[in-house]
Structure 1
Amino acid sequence: MEDTKESNVKTFCSKNILAILGFSSIIAVIALLAVGLTQNKALPENVKYGIVLDAGSSHTSLYIYKWPAEKENDTGVVHQVEECRVKGPGISKFVQKVNEIGIYLTDCMERAREVIPRSQHQETPVYLGATAGMRLLRMESEELADRVLDVVERSLSNYPFDFQGARIITGQEEGAYGWITINYLLGKFSQKTRWFSIVPYETNNQETFGALDLGGASTQVTFVPQNQTIESPDNALQFRLYGKDYNVYTHSFLCYGKDQALWQKLAKDIQQFEIQGIGNYQQCHQSILELFNTSYCPYSQCAFNGIFLPPLQGDFGAFSAFYFVMKFLNLTSEKVSQEKVTEMMKKFCAQPWEEIKTSYAGVKEKYLSEYCFSGTYILSLLLQGYHFTADSWEHIHFIGKIQGSDAGWTLGYMLNLTNMIPAEQPLSTPLSHSTYVFLMVLFSLVLFTVAIIGLLIFHKPSYFWKDMV
């Protein structure tokens, strides 16, 4: 009788203990899930904006960028949300009518007011960078260039944004910021992090892209040479970005943008007051080659005009006028060989003018009349100027946008001025949010299953003992 009583007490206590343990396990699982989901869910959008005006030689464009404030040191998080092309020529053309600059900038600045929430106007930085058109004006008259910039600054200061100044950037800066932009957007600076470790490692030792920029008044070539000393110190830049060192070659050829190159060619060709194009690709090509002086080179290898150029390395992104001209001519496909591009250019140039006007009725004649020259010039610059070959041509990628952002120097310029590119790699969580939540759920289910099995083992052990016997 006493044994029966003692057995009943043990059974009663065991059931209560197991019930408490089971209930505690369920509460623990629920808490584990709740913490994992709430602590790691995406935070409410907390974004920042930045504005950059690209004051080029032929026109001005305004770009608005946006990024999550809590991730501003991550690569690829900044993206373009708006582009506004200012109606009219470049700011250097306003040298005799500076009082019109304010009106000239109005439409795009008002557009920025609309795109960016009013609550963030005062904390949104505005930068204006002027390129080769203003460099040429400054060479002609520093006083006139300063007068234009002063009026630009006064005009932009009237808006409710955080205006950070207007300046003429150097050709070297233009090349470097273009290189930073495309590699930032392509994710070439990023590193992956191992699971359960805070030590980053590089994937595939990925190489950066070179950058080929073509504007109206200048052209830039920028890339990281492989195992090659940059023999000309003026063409060397050192960057430490996200924990890695880059030795970058860059050069800007002033007056070798497509518009200035055309003026150079016309100045060489002019014999009378009217020049009539004859649509002969080969003659145009030969005439363009005269712009490149290759008669001397004080280094082991040169581009032209005695400028050092290391052997080309890796893939190149060709943007700005490189892209727009070749896109119009339908020559941006990577499947089209250099020989095929040359052949197609010959056919385009040979088309009768009246036929071309009919085929491209929506294009202004001024621009339409220049595409034969511009396309031929691009081929000449890349092949004879920069020494690309039929084999290396396939490494040129004509790029307009990368993930919705224009390829160009403006994004790199803003990233630099807002200190969003750290020298060292920022620490990041080893797992993504989705992976973390998946593992939390998986391990919680495992815990829950083990707890249930444990309850069954202790509550009805006879089932398990029968199997074992």
Structure 2
Amino acid sequence: MEDTKESNVKTFCSKNILAILGFSSIIAVIALLAVGLTQNKALPENIKYGIVLDAGSSHTSLYIYKWPAEKENDTGVVHQVEECRVKGPGISKYVQKVNEIGIYLTDCMERAREVIPRSQHQETPVYLGATAGMRLLRMESEELADRVLDVVERSLSNYPFDFQGARIITGQEEGAYGWITINYLLGKFSQKTRWFSIVPYETNNQETFGALDLGGASTQITFVPQNQTTESPDNALQFRLYGKDYNVYTHSFLCYGKDQALWQKLAKDIQQFEIQGIGNYQQCHQSVLELFNTSYCPYSQCAFNGIFLPPLQGDFGAFSAFYFVMNFLNLTSEKVSQEKVTEMMKKFCSQPWEEIKTSYAGVKEKYLSEYCFSGTYILSLLLQGYHFTADSWEHIHFIGKIQGSDAGWTLGYMLNLTNMIPAEQPLSTPLSHSTYVFLMVLFSLVLVIVAIIGLLIFHKPSYFWKDMV
């Protein structure tokens, strides 16, 4: 009788334990499916596109960006899918032939028609931002600058896209948008979350990069200084991005792009109708230094020409002509010290012209003849103009692209105009990779343990109950 009672108790307990284990396994399976589907759901088919034309002083480039429509407020989802360089000079050079602007833009705009699906044409915004070349033209004649922009607007309005306007952006905007672009692409605005924690925490990787931009007619420097108080309010900008405030220093030096700097140098040096280079780096360097007036500074520290510059802080991304020139000269490696760069520049500049032409047979002579000056100018601007040193040189990273997108102001410009970087942190963020792996392993282990215990109870109950008898 007692054995029968004990057997009934065991049977009852076994059934309940199996029921609990079965329920646990169902929950674990549901959890695994939920986590897996949430993390690995199919990419949305609803893709949006945007077009930005960078109307620079020397040329115009068209960039096409795309992003998943329902993720337009998350970071790191906008990607460049196409770059088209417009054949010809910058739009400011068309001031006396504005009737040719429509033809000038045709090839790249037609390329945009091909890349972007026809169904998306009408809702794809198009922006044109003109930089230092048009700033100079506006200083010369506001009427002529407006005439060029009017023709540009009429030409772009003829395409089936959502044209949002063409305007001349300020040097401050150009610097700020370039800073936004590289930090957005590097993921510096995003914040990671702890496992099962709603409150975000900051990582050491969150310090932003400074931005160094060099065009044909202007150059910009933008970064977050260590001291948040500024001696020059005109050089201060404030952003609130993903719940964090950024106090940014920025300045644009008009006429200090590489092309305008060369014209400045030639204007200072010209004494006859022809100037003959002699391949002497040191002499060229000394001549370039004359472009920077460092004799006057009304602040505690200046760059040049009496412009306030706070102490440099953190790493810097140097892009546009900084990258193109230094990449041509094979000087973009982070392992190359400033002293080595100077030595390599001396060697390049001292090579005979015929030898240079033979070594770079595929490069147009007009551009080839300017690389010695451009490289020397970049070194002088960074070291004497912005006060980088041999030690801080290692914090300069010459950047062409980041994750397939060009480093430059255009992406930041579009992000700002489409309000795609929110001021506040999004309410929810996707699971991090580590959290996803942890949850998958946890629920998988639960399933394995449940299965083992269930097998023991069902097939060999004596092992399970022997200690309870």
TM bucket (normalised to shorter chain) is over 0.9
Contact 2:224 2:249 (C-alpha < 8 Å) held by counterparts:
yes
Report how far residue 85 of structure 1 moved: 0.2
> Could you report, residue by residue, the CA deviation over 1:106-140 in whole angstroms, capped at 9, with x for unpaired residues?
10011111111111111111100000000000001
Structure 2 partner of 1:76: 76
SS at match of 1:122: helix
Instruction: Answer whether contact 2:213 2:219 (CA < 8 A) is retained.
Output: yes
Superposed CA offset, 1:172-194 (max 9, x none): 00000001111111111111011
Q: 1:453, CA displacement in angstroms?
A: 2.4
Query: How far 1:30 moved relative to its partner?
Result: 6.1
Counterpart contact for 1:194–1:430, Cα < 8 Å: no
Worse-superposed segment, 31-40 or 384-393: 31-40
- Aligned match of 1:279: 279
SS in 2 for 1:20: helix
Kept after mapping to 1: 8 A contact 2:228/2:247: no
Q: CA deviation at 1:427?
A: 2.6
Distance change (3 Å), C-alpha of 1:258 and 1:467: same
Quote the residue 2:446 is aligned against.
Answer: 446
Would you say the 8 A contact 1:262–1:373 is kept in 2?
Answer: yes
For residues 308 and 16 of structure 1, what CA distance do their matches in structure 2 show?
A: 77
Shift of 1:463: 3.2
The 8 Å contact of residues 55 and 90 in structure 1, kept in 2 or not, is answered as yes
- Whether the 8 Å contact between 1:195 and 1:430 is mirrored in structure 2 is no
* Contact kept in structure 2, 1:219 and 1:256, CA below 8 Å: yes
Shift of 1:71: 1.9
The 2-side partners of 1:109 and 1:335 are apart by: 40
- Change in Cα spacing, 1:372 to 1:15, as seen in structure 2 (3 Å) is closer
Change in Cα spacing, 1:102 to 1:11, as seen in structure 2 (3 Å) is same
Quote the offset at 1:285 in angstroms: 1.0
Q: CA deviation at 1:34?
A: 6.6
1:184-205 CA-partner distances (Å, limit 9, x unpaired)? 1111111101111221111126
Closer, same or farther: CA 4–118 of 1 in aligned 2, 3 Å? same
Counterpart in 1 of 2:109? 109
Identity %: 98
The answer on whether the counterparts of 1:98 and 1:151 sit within 8 Å (CA) in structure 2 is yes
Instruction: Give the direction of change, closer, same or farther, for the CA distance of 1:457–1:110 in structure 2 (3 Å limit).
Output: same
State the 4+ residue runs in structure 1 displaced beyond 2 angstroms.
1-46, 427-442, 447-469
Deviations 1:29-70 (A, max 9, x none): 468637853796234333211110000000000001111222
Once structures 1 and 2 are overlaid, which stretch shifts more, 190-199 or 440-449? 440-449
Asked if the contact 1:62–1:83 (Cα under 8 Å) also holds between the matched residues in 2, the reply is: yes
Equivalent-residue separation in structure 2 for 1:297 and 1:23 (angstroms): 76
Greater CA drift, 198-207 or 350-359: 198-207
Residue 166 (structure 1) shift: 0.2
Change in CA separation of 1:159 and 1:138 when aligned onto 2, cut-off 3 Å? same
Larger deviation: 203-212 or 59-68?
A: 203-212
Separation in 2 of the partners of 1:22 and 1:261?
A: 77
Q: Kindly tell me: are residues 460 and 380 of structure 1, through their superposed partners in 2, closer, same or farther at Cα, counting changes over 3 Å?
A: closer
Aligned residues: 469
- Is contact 1:208–1:224 with CA below 8 Å preserved after alignment? yes
| 1:388 shift after superposition | 0.9
* Matches of 2:12 and 2:357, distance apart in 1: 98
Deviations 1:360-404 (A, max 9, x none): 110000000111111111111111111111111111111111111
Counterpart Cα distance in 2 of 1:162 and 1:259? 34
Deviation at 1:11, TM superposition (A): 6.5
**Are the structure 2 counterparts of residues 148 and 301 from structure 1 closer, same or farther at C-alpha, using a change threshold of 3 Å?**
same
Contact 2:193–2:201 (Cα < 8 Å) also in 1: yes
Q: 1:264 to 1:281 in 2, by over 3 A?
A: same
* Deviations 1:140-167 (CA, angstroms, capped at 9, x unpaired): 1101000100010011111111110000
> 2:129 aligns to what SS in structure 1?
strand
Q: CA deviation at 1:170?
A: 0.1
For residues 450 and 145 of structure 1, do their structure 2 counterparts lie closer, same or farther at Cα, with a shift above 3 Å needed? same
TM-score (norm 2): 0.92
8 Å CA contact 1:33–1:444 kept in 2: the answer is no
Aligned mates of 2:38, 2:229 — CA distance in 1:
53
Assess if the C-alpha contact under 8 Å between 2:35 and 2:440 holds in 1. Answer: no
Secondary structure (helix, strand or coil) at the match of 2:122 reads coil
Following superposition, the deviation at residue 262 of structure 1 comes to 0.6
SS of the counterpart of 1:468? coil
Cα distance in 1 for residues equivalent to 2:88 and 2:48? 30
- Structure 1 residue 338, shift from structure 2 partner: 1.0
Which stretch has the larger CA shift, 425-434 or 324-333? Answer: 425-434
Partner of 2:239: 239
C-alpha change, 1:26 and 1:452, in structure 2 (3 Å) is: farther
Is the CA contact (8 Å cut-off) linking 2:193 and 2:199 kept in structure 1? yes
C-alpha distance in 2 between matches for 1:250 and 1:258: 19
Task: Return the alpha-carbon distance in structure 2 between the equivalents of residues 384 and 324 of structure 1.
Answer: 21
Using a 3 Å threshold, how does the CA distance of structure 1 residues 451 and 166 change in structure 2: closer, same or farther?
same
Check the 8 A contact 1:193/1:428 in 2, yes or no. no
Q: Does the 8 Å CA contact 1:37/1:437 hold for their aligned counterparts?
A: no
Provide the rounded CA distance (Å) in 2 between the counterparts of 1:309 and 1:35. 50
Aligned-residue RMSD, C-alpha: 2.9
Residue 457 of structure 1 and its aligned partner are, at CA, apart by 3.6
Q: For residues 271 and 6 of structure 1, what CA distance do their matches in structure 2 show?
A: 115
Q: Deviations over 1:378-433 (max 9, x none)?
A: 11111111111111111111111111111100000000000011111113346247
Deviation at 1:28, TM superposition (A): 7.7
CA contact 1:33–1:441 (8 Å) conserved in 2: no
The more displaced of 388-397 and 33-42 is: 33-42
Deviates more, 1:430-439 or 1:262-271: 430-439
Distance 1:23 1:199 in 2: 33
The change in CA–CA distance for 1:414 and 1:274 in structure 2 (over 3 A counts) is: same
TM normalised by structure 1 equals: 0.92
In the alignment, the residues of structure 2 paired with residue 229 and residue 23 of structure 1 have an alpha-carbon distance, to the nearest angstrom, of 61
Mapped to 2, the partners of 1:209 and 1:5 lie a distance apart of: 75
Matches of 1:9 and 1:193 in 2, distance apart? 48
Work out the CA distance in 2 between the residues paired with 1:275 and 1:156. Answer: 42
